[in-house]
Amino acid sequence: MKNKGQVMTGAEIFFECLKKEKVEHIFGFPGGSVLKLYEQLYDIDFLQHILVRHEQGAVHAAEGYAKASGKTGVVLVTSGPGATNTVTGIADAYMDSVPIVVFTGQVPSHLIGNDAFQEADMMGITRPITKHNFLVRSVEELAITIKKAFYIASSGRPGPVVVDLPKDVINSKCEFVYPDNMEIRGYKPTIKGHSHQIKKAAEAISKAKRPLLYVGGGVIMSGGSQELALFARENKLPVVMTLQGLGAFPGTDDLSLGMLGMHGTYWANQAVDNCDVLVSLGARFDDRVTGNCETFAKNAFKIHADIDPTCIDKNVIVDIPIVGDVKHILAELAVEMPKPPDIKDWWSQIYEWKDECPMQYEDNDGRLRTEYVIEKLSEKTNGNAVIVTDVGQHQMWTAQYYKYNFPRSNITSGGLGTMGFSVPASIGVSFAVKDRPIISISGDGGFQMNIQELITAAAYKVPVKFIIINNSFLGMVRQWQEMFHGEKYSFTDLSASNPDFVKVGEAFGIESFSTDSPKDVDSLLDKALSINDRPVLIEFKVVKDDLVFPMVPSGGSISEMMVKRINSKRMTLL
């Protein structure tokens, strides 16, 4: 590579910028408009390019890499369909605040707007689903634009940034200059929370009789898990977590009440409904958490700490807003606390709720159930694995029954709920994590949506354990059809069309196993966990018609939870 100040082509500048940003991995797929970049890439030795089999897979892989490592994921694709294939992944990253930079090829500048071959308006297409996007109009703008892209993606509330690269920009030449620091007018994320607001919050928590910490993914993104643990333990505060917040606080800790919301634990939701001070940390009051906003924590004094000021009062009006980085705010809260609150009676009530409605499932009929598989997986890995789930029933059962003990262990699609996420995302995780088991869990429906990425897994010998929870249905859709749509199972039964997943895995060169017996779960998990130099696949054929409980009906109050199916027509509300 050439030194700063030398004249370079756009392609050379591109990779020099990635080197400056310490990029080690890039997920991509070549095509006509980016061939000059791939020509340059042929001689690059400071980063590894991972060739995926579909551009959507590239973005999900970059998401998995970013979520697991805390670094910015990088994607490179060609123009037209190559670029538009990234849209679902970009939207997914936007909803879950994942720092990725997606470089898309574009037709030459003079052809933009002429409906040229493989032209697509990526600025217009991605504007609503990116933190920011750029069209590079000249090679002189290239380096500063890339610098801005990485800065915007990774600072403040993280998110995806798209950089559109016209073919002539890549081929042109200019002097390479890369700024050491970056400031963007009008974009200055607040890091340190307002001291007066933090002091008021600390006083409110100290005086509370029924306080509750409501923890979201922002705690993990900020690197604030240690500060959270110290603050919660010093003050003996109960902790509930969102789906994206799982792992921010150890799931095996006595202070953890598990997940709240639509499929949260009964005692977590009861604690939310009855608390007198609710402290939201890096969470956005998502509808799957709140249910009916009018009844959410209706009697609580609400404190909301978040780095994104647009999240404050967006869904739920709060009493003390604190804008800033959650890691710093937690540290300041700990210093400002006058004394721990007196909450022995509160804990007694929480224990009563735990006894009243524990997490349970049927396990005495000899049939294999997802909950059993997840429990065994949690036991065998001691909560130390990186679990990458797809979307659906298995996702919720994993959230309920796997005890995450570390941050960046729960990699899942939350806000967008993207089926097909797990397989490519787990591949991305494998390039970020080298010392922990990586386990992809998918339903049989979602597994097929990006099944082509098994080729990528086999080609790079990634040590991912692919688990398929096969109930021969689009399980979560089927659950809603049973509960709310008159049991009309319209186009959700996959039993007649599902492939033989063992043969599929073997066709891709992956050692594969299948069982429908609980007796095989131990040995198959042990087998998978012992293989660390290549992927392995296990299909668990589970009960077809099981439902995920507890459940709060969409738009309902979290105080009204469905906890059990009595028969196919009625549910028990508690």
CA 534 to chain centre: 24
Q: Determine the 3-state secondary structure of 439 from DSSP.
A: strand
**Helix/strand/coil (H/E/C) assignment for every residue in 87-136:** HHHHHHHHHCCCCEEEEEEECCHHHCCCCCCCCCCHHHHHHHHCCEEEEC
Q: Residue 389's CB: how many other CB atoms inside 10 A?
A: 30
Terminal alpha carbon distance of the chain: 66
User: Of the residues 12, 16, 55, 482, which is catalytic?
Assistant: 55
Token output for 487: 């049991």
* Token digits of residue 340: 């721990």
Cα three-residue angle 558-561-563, rounded to 5 degrees:
150
Residue 247 zone, left/alpha/beta (φ > 0; ψ -120 to 50; rest): left
Count CB neighbours of 526 within 10 A: 11
- Whose tokens are 């210093």? That residue is 335
- Report how far residue 212's alpha carbon sits from residue 347's, in angstroms, rounded to the nearest whole number: 11
Helical (H) or strand (E) element with 226? helix 225-235
Tokens of 400: 């309920």
476 annotated active-site:
yes
CA distances from residue 563 to 241, 473, 571, 573 in whole angstroms, order as listed: 20, 22, 7, 6
Indicate the angle between helix axes 521-530 and 370-381, nearest 10 degrees: 40
Catalytic entry in 396, 419, 476, 562: 476
Look at residues 142, 123, 53 and name the one whose alpha carbon lies nearest to residue 84. 123
Instruction: Tell me the three state secondary structure of residue 288.
Output: helix
Instruction: State the catalytic residue, choosing from 167, 302, 403, 465.
Output: 167
What is the spatial distance between Cα 14 and Cα 143, in angstroms, rounded to a whole number? 7
Catalytic one of 117, 175, 182, 484:
117
55 is known as an active-site residue: yes
Q: Where do runs of H (alpha helix) occur along 488-530?
A: 501-507, 521-530
Among residues 213, 223, 224, 216, the alpha carbon closest in space to that of 244 is found at 216
Identify whether 393 is a catalytic site residue: no
Catalytic residues: 55, 117-118, 167, 476
